[in-house]
Amino acid sequence: MRERASPSTMAPAAAPTGTQGLAPDLQAFIEHLAVERRLAERTLVLYTEALHRLQASAAADGVPLPAAQPHHVRGWAAQLRGSGLGPRSISLALAAWRGLYRHWGRQGRIAANPVEGLRAPKAGRPLPKALAVEQAVHLADHALQRARAPSSASVPADPLLALRDHAIVELLYGSGLRVAEILGLDVRAGAAARGWVDPADASAQVLGKGSKRRTVPVGPLALAALRAWLEVRPQLAAADEPALFVSRRGTRLSPGQLRLRLKTQSLQSGLATPVHPHMLRHSFASHLLQSSGDLRAVQELLGHASIGTTQVYTKLDHQHLARVYDAAHPRARRKG
């Protein structure tokens, strides 16, 4: 797959809500991360929460943040552990604190970074949850059945949404997109578009983490589902709405709306476990690796910067093989 530079005309990300109450220099750091570093909105929200904690701890000890020393930061990190935060949350908080002091160091405000060298407690890395192949196919087939409900010239909203949901499921499972990537797709390509689908090339251009563009293939079933959705999309979408996937109100579908629709749809299909969008991305990667064994290709398709992030799917592949062995091999079954 080929990387493409982000269009220079793309509008910068807006600073997230939640910065109220932060000192002006902390708000300025969040704005720097949003506008210049273009961090994802969810990351900005988590960093903002971490800076709120840092500010509160420093105020409680009467320590100006630019004057903080390593022993101060160690104590504040210990307070995070004492408040019940897990290793991953502590690690993220320290990353936010470390980034703040590095930013101040580049500005010449501090001589040394008091967070440098401080590490969060190690946490075991949980395996991502993926559906079995049969379950993923069943979910997509269920979405297709709902989308084929009878319609008329004055088709009600639910069949329209069913066509939209079927296209979303096919894209999530068929192309392994993240939530932000699929919801960032626009109907038409353009310099201001975060992403789009090119039916002629059977591919999608998406904007991934770190504002990196990549091209992913789109299978024939997903393309067919998209064509069906595009035929009825004008009945829902606002006249000037560029988003490919819109809500009942005609505006770009939100992550919360997508998660709720997919959860409801998975339970209606008879699956025992509610499905979230990232589970379909995990399923895409796991099933592709099971079939191909090509870890590098899976890494590129997922848009992972590091092969280490992708290697977690080799463990899922091993679990799949172990289940097959336990179920099928005569020597795997113990006789009582």
- Examine the fold and report which residue of 247, 272, 297 is the final residue of a domain before the chain moves on: 272
117, part of any domain: no
CATH of the domain at 161: 1.10.443.10
1, part of any domain: no
- 150 and 59 in a common domain: no
* Locus of tokens 């590095």: 102
The predicted pLDDT at position 150 comes to: 53
- 254 and 181 in a common domain: yes
CATH of the domain at 70: 1.10.150
- 185 and 97 in a common domain: no
- Write the pLDDT tens digit of every residue in 30-57: 999 999 888 888 899 999 999 999 999 9
- 253 and 158 in a common domain: yes
User: Which range marks the domain in which residue 22 is found?
Assistant: 10-106
The predicted pLDDT at position 316 comes to: 53
Q: Which residues are catalytic?
A: 178, 209, 278, 281, 304, 313
Top-ranked range on mean pLDDT: pick from 10-24, 123-137, 145-159: 123-137
- Examine the fold and report which residue of 55, 86, 106 is the final residue of a domain before the chain moves on: 106
* Locus of tokens 């310099």: 191
Q: How many domains does the chain have?
A: 2
Residue 223 confidence class, pLDDT cut points 50, 70, 90:
very high
pLDDT, mean over the chain: 83
Least confident piece of the model among 79-88, 122-131, 178-187, 258-267: 122-131
Q: Examine the pLDDT at 321 and tell me if it is beyond 60.
A: no
The predicted pLDDT at position 333 comes to: 54
